[in-house]
């Protein structure tokens, strides 16, 4: 922690708290906050002010039927979800039965070849966007290079973003692209994650701004 870093973080804290700080500046502040409880406390106070300011917009009565329409959507989706769940359970049960029969036959046919292979350990890391909201998660394996699954399911505008591994020192390295459609997106691939603290996997907009990031590093992934 240095005086200059604290000064820079505190200067940027109001914009970060309001959710309007973009790109590299936000990433740098977030990295500093992870190691500086004093600045984190200052940001928390700014966030309380930002929350209060948002609440100053007036309450207004929505058009008639507004709540009823949302209620119908939710209850309708829930009924469809229950039907899908029942179908999924039935299909999964059938698949499991078929698989178990197949496995038994394979083992019977090759009785000495069934060596158990340990799967790489997986760790789930939150992907965090502006205002500290969780927008998805990243699953990272302990293998090298790590197998990575990125799931975004909330609060990221539709579009194509690059996925970059960023270290506290050094230039970011692009490992792939992810397309968000209807607020959702997934990417699966391999990524070399340096065994150092402070490594993040960032979703970067074409403008270069960091939309959200997950604090991944190999040291944590193997713990």
How many residues lie near another protein (CB under 8 A)?
47
Site string for another protein, 90-129 (x = CB under 8 A): ----------------------------------------
Cβ at position 76, least distance to another protein in Å: 10
Q: Specify whether the CB–CB gap between 187 and 163 falls below 8 A.
A: yes
Interaction between residue 64 and another protein (CB under 8 A): no
Report CA-CA distances (Å) from 66 to 61, 79, 80: 10, 20, 22
Q: Let me know: does 99 contact 118? Beta carbons within 8 Å.
A: no
Dihedral sign for Cα atoms in the order 11, 15, 18, 19: negative
Site string for another protein, 33-52 (x = CB under 8 A): ------------xxxxxxxx
Q: Shortest approach of another protein to residue 200 CB, angstroms? A: 18
Nearer to another protein, 134 or 167 (CB): 134
φ, ψ for residue 29, nearest 5 deg: -65, -45
The torsion defined by the Cα of 15, 19, 25 and 27, in degrees rounded to 10, comes to 140
Could you tell me the two tokens for 9?
A: 């973080």
Task: Name residues whose C-beta falls within 8 Å of residue 59's C-beta, 6 or more positions apart in sequence.
Answer: none
Which stretch, 59-67, 101-109, 169-177, 187-195, contacts another protein (CB under 8 A)?
59-67
Structure-block tokens of residue 196: 């150092």
Query: Least CB distance from residue 142 to another protein, whole Å?
Result: 25
Candidate residues 98, 99, 103, 133; the one interacting with another protein per rule CB under 8 A: 133
What are the residues binding another protein (CB under 8 A)?
A: 11, 14-15, 17-20, 22, 45-63, 66-67, 69-71, 73-75, 78, 81, 130-134, 153-155, 157, 183
């Amino acid at each position: 922690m240095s005086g200059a870093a604290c000064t820079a973080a505190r200067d940027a804290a109001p914009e970060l708290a309001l959710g309007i700080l973009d790109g590299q500046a936000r990433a740098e502040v977030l990295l500093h906050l992870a190691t500086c409880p004093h600045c984190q406390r200052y940001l928390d106070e700014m966030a309380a002010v930002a929350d209060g300011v948002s609440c100053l917009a007036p309450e207004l009565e929505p058009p008639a039927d507004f709540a009823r329409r949302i209620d119908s959507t939710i209850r309708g989706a829930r009924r469809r979800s229950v039907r899908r769940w029942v179908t999924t359970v039935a299909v999964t049960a059938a698949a499991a039965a078929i698989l178990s029969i197949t496995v038994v036959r394979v083992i019977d046919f090759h009785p000495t070849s069934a060596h158990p292979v340990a799967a790489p350990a997986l760790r789930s890391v939150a992907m965090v966007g502006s205002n500290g909201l969780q927008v998805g998660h990243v699953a990272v394996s302990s293998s090298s290079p790590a197998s990575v699954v990125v799931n975004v399911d909330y609060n990221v505008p539709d579009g194509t973003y690059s996925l970059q591994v960023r270290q506290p020192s050094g230039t970011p390295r692009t490992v792939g692209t992810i397309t968000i459609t209807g607020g959702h997106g997934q990417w699966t691939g391999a990524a070399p994650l340096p065994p150092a603290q402070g490594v993040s996997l960032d979703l970067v907009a074409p403008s270069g701004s960091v939309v959200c990031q997950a604090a991944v590093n190999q040291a944590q992934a193997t713990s």
